[in-house]
Amino acid sequence: MYKSFKFNYLFNATLSAIAIILAVTPANALPEQNINTVVKWAKTRPQLPTLRYNSEAHGYEGTKGKLYFYADVTSQNGTVAKEGITVSGDSSLKFTTKNAKAVKLLQNIYNFNIANDFQKSRYITKVGRDQFYRGQKFAYIAAEVQGGSSLQIIPLHKLQEFINNAKYCQTNQCDV
Protein backbone atom coordinates (compact mmCIF):
# COMPACT_ATOMS: atom_id res chain seq x y z
CA MET A 1 0.00 0.00 0.00
CA TYR A 2 2.89 2.37 0.74
CA LYS A 3 4.33 1.84 -2.76
CA SER A 4 0.95 2.64 -4.32
CA PHE A 5 0.65 5.84 -2.27
CA LYS A 6 4.22 6.86 -3.18
CA PHE A 7 3.56 6.19 -6.89
CA ASN A 8 0.32 8.21 -6.85
CA TYR A 9 2.05 11.06 -5.03
CA LEU A 10 4.93 11.18 -7.52
CA PHE A 11 2.56 10.82 -10.48
CA ASN A 12 0.34 13.69 -9.28
CA ALA A 13 3.37 15.86 -8.47
CA THR A 14 4.77 15.29 -11.96
CA LEU A 15 1.43 16.11 -13.61
CA SER A 16 1.14 19.28 -11.53
CA ALA A 17 4.66 20.37 -12.51
CA ILE A 18 3.91 19.79 -16.20
CA ALA A 19 0.66 21.76 -15.92
CA ILE A 20 2.47 24.68 -14.28
CA ILE A 21 5.21 24.67 -16.93
CA LEU A 22 2.66 24.63 -19.74
CA ALA A 23 0.64 27.42 -18.14
CA VAL A 24 3.69 29.65 -17.59
CA THR A 25 5.45 28.93 -20.89
CA PRO A 26 3.57 30.52 -23.80
CA ALA A 27 3.55 28.79 -27.16
CA ASN A 28 6.16 30.08 -29.56
CA ALA A 29 7.00 29.43 -33.13
CA LEU A 30 10.64 29.99 -33.87
CA PRO A 31 13.26 28.96 -36.43
CA GLU A 32 13.84 25.22 -36.75
CA GLN A 33 10.22 24.43 -35.97
CA ASN A 34 7.74 23.10 -38.50
CA ILE A 35 6.04 25.74 -40.64
CA ASN A 36 2.60 24.38 -39.69
CA THR A 37 3.41 25.21 -36.06
CA VAL A 38 4.44 28.74 -37.06
CA VAL A 39 1.31 29.36 -39.15
CA LYS A 40 -0.97 28.13 -36.33
CA TRP A 41 0.95 30.17 -33.77
CA ALA A 42 0.73 33.33 -35.91
CA LYS A 43 -3.06 33.03 -35.88
CA THR A 44 -2.98 33.36 -32.08
CA ARG A 45 -0.89 36.57 -32.11
CA PRO A 46 -3.09 39.66 -32.59
CA GLN A 47 -0.08 41.73 -33.74
CA LEU A 48 0.67 39.38 -36.64
CA PRO A 49 -0.99 39.18 -40.03
CA THR A 50 -2.47 36.06 -41.53
CA LEU A 51 0.41 34.24 -43.20
CA ARG A 52 0.13 33.14 -46.81
CA TYR A 53 2.49 30.99 -48.82
CA ASN A 54 4.68 32.81 -51.34
CA SER A 55 6.26 30.34 -53.77
CA GLU A 56 8.83 32.88 -55.02
CA ALA A 57 10.07 33.55 -51.50
CA HIS A 58 9.81 29.88 -50.44
CA GLY A 59 8.01 30.80 -47.27
CA TYR A 60 5.03 32.38 -45.58
CA GLU A 61 4.45 36.09 -45.19
CA GLY A 62 1.90 38.73 -44.39
CA THR A 63 1.44 42.42 -43.66
CA LYS A 64 -0.71 43.98 -40.99
CA GLY A 65 -0.63 47.75 -40.80
CA LYS A 66 3.02 48.78 -40.61
CA LEU A 67 4.26 45.31 -39.66
CA TYR A 68 5.50 42.72 -42.16
CA PHE A 69 6.25 39.20 -40.90
CA TYR A 70 7.74 36.26 -42.75
CA ALA A 71 8.99 32.75 -42.12
CA ASP A 72 11.42 31.24 -44.66
CA VAL A 73 11.07 27.53 -45.32
CA THR A 74 14.14 26.38 -47.21
CA SER A 75 14.12 22.71 -46.31
CA GLN A 76 12.05 19.99 -47.92
CA ASN A 77 10.58 18.89 -44.60
CA GLY A 78 8.89 22.23 -43.83
CA THR A 79 11.36 23.43 -41.22
CA VAL A 80 11.59 27.20 -40.73
CA ALA A 81 15.08 28.50 -41.52
CA LYS A 82 14.53 32.04 -40.23
CA GLU A 83 11.80 34.48 -39.28
CA GLY A 84 11.71 38.18 -39.88
CA ILE A 85 9.84 41.26 -38.75
CA THR A 86 9.93 44.59 -40.54
CA VAL A 87 8.23 47.68 -39.16
CA SER A 88 7.88 50.62 -41.52
CA GLY A 89 6.77 54.18 -41.01
CA ASP A 90 7.79 54.39 -37.34
CA SER A 91 11.07 56.24 -36.93
CA SER A 92 11.04 55.66 -33.16
CA LEU A 93 11.27 51.88 -33.56
CA LYS A 94 14.71 50.59 -34.49
CA PHE A 95 15.70 46.99 -33.94
CA THR A 96 18.60 47.57 -31.60
CA THR A 97 19.21 45.96 -28.23
CA LYS A 98 18.73 49.33 -26.53
CA ASN A 99 15.45 50.37 -28.20
CA ALA A 100 12.71 49.74 -25.63
CA LYS A 101 9.94 49.93 -28.25
CA ALA A 102 11.55 47.19 -30.37
CA VAL A 103 12.18 44.98 -27.35
CA LYS A 104 8.55 45.44 -26.23
CA LEU A 105 7.34 44.48 -29.71
CA LEU A 106 9.36 41.27 -29.55
CA GLN A 107 7.91 40.55 -26.13
CA ASN A 108 4.38 41.09 -27.43
CA ILE A 109 4.90 38.92 -30.49
CA TYR A 110 7.02 36.15 -28.95
CA ASN A 111 7.50 36.39 -25.18
CA PHE A 112 9.73 37.85 -22.49
CA ASN A 113 12.40 35.17 -23.01
CA ILE A 114 12.96 36.04 -26.68
CA ALA A 115 12.83 39.79 -26.03
CA ASN A 116 15.33 39.37 -23.19
CA ASP A 117 17.56 37.15 -25.32
CA PHE A 118 17.70 39.83 -28.01
CA GLN A 119 18.16 42.67 -25.52
CA LYS A 120 21.08 40.88 -23.85
CA SER A 121 22.59 39.60 -27.10
CA ARG A 122 26.16 40.51 -27.99
CA TYR A 123 26.99 42.51 -31.10
CA ILE A 124 29.23 40.43 -33.37
CA THR A 125 29.81 42.28 -36.63
CA LYS A 126 28.31 44.39 -39.37
CA VAL A 127 28.27 43.32 -43.00
CA GLY A 128 26.75 45.88 -45.34
CA ARG A 129 23.57 47.05 -43.66
CA ASP A 130 23.22 43.90 -41.52
CA GLN A 131 24.24 43.92 -37.86
CA PHE A 132 24.72 40.47 -36.38
CA TYR A 133 24.02 39.65 -32.73
CA ARG A 134 24.57 36.46 -30.71
CA GLY A 135 22.02 35.67 -28.01
CA GLN A 136 21.89 32.68 -25.69
CA LYS A 137 19.02 31.00 -27.58
CA PHE A 138 19.07 32.58 -31.04
CA ALA A 139 21.09 34.85 -33.27
CA TYR A 140 19.68 38.04 -34.73
CA ILE A 141 20.26 40.16 -37.80
CA ALA A 142 19.10 43.78 -37.52
CA ALA A 143 19.03 46.23 -40.40
CA GLU A 144 17.69 49.62 -41.30
CA VAL A 145 15.68 49.20 -44.48
CA GLN A 146 13.99 51.72 -46.71
CA GLY A 147 11.32 53.31 -44.56
CA GLY A 148 11.78 51.05 -41.56
CA SER A 149 13.69 48.64 -39.40
CA SER A 150 13.94 44.87 -39.68
CA LEU A 151 14.99 41.98 -37.49
CA GLN A 152 15.63 38.39 -38.47
CA ILE A 153 15.74 35.57 -35.95
CA ILE A 154 18.01 32.71 -36.98
CA PRO A 155 19.24 29.52 -35.33
CA LEU A 156 22.21 30.26 -33.11
CA HIS A 157 24.32 27.49 -34.62
CA LYS A 158 23.90 29.03 -38.09
CA LEU A 159 25.15 32.51 -37.19
CA GLN A 160 28.55 32.08 -38.86
CA GLU A 161 26.90 30.65 -41.98
CA PHE A 162 24.70 33.76 -42.27
CA ILE A 163 27.71 36.06 -41.72
CA ASN A 164 29.72 34.21 -44.37
CA ASN A 165 26.82 34.38 -46.81
CA ALA A 166 26.44 38.14 -46.22
CA LYS A 167 30.18 38.63 -46.84
CA TYR A 168 29.99 36.54 -50.01
CA CYS A 169 27.05 38.60 -51.25
CA GLN A 170 29.08 41.80 -50.74
CA THR A 171 31.36 40.82 -53.64
CA ASN A 172 29.11 38.48 -55.62
CA GLN A 173 25.61 38.83 -56.96
CA CYS A 174 23.15 37.04 -54.71
CA ASP A 175 19.39 36.68 -54.74
CA VAL A 176 17.90 38.76 -51.95
pLDDT per residue as tens, the chain (176 positions): 555 555 454 445 444 444 443 333 445 678 999 999 999 999 999 999 999 999 888 899 999 999 999 999 976 788 999 999 999 999 999 999 999 999 999 999 999 999 999 999 999 999 999 999 999 999 999 999 988 999 999 999 999 999 999 999 888 887 65
* Rounded Cα–Cα distance for residues 119 and 107 (Å): 10
pTM of the prediction? 0.82
Crossing angle, helix 100-109 and helix 112-119, to 10 degrees?
Answer: 150
Cross-strand bridge partners of residue 163: none
- 3-state DSSP assignment of residue 71: strand
For the chain, count helices (H), then strands (E). 5, 8
* Domain boundaries along the sequence of the chain: 28-171
What does residue 127 show for φ and ψ, rounded to 5 degrees?
-130, 115
- 3-state DSSP assignment of residue 99: coil
The answer to whether 133 and 123 have CB atoms below 8 angstroms apart is yes
Q: What is the pLDDT of residue 2?
A: 55
| Cα separations in angstroms, 91 against 55, 66, 160 | 31, 12, 30
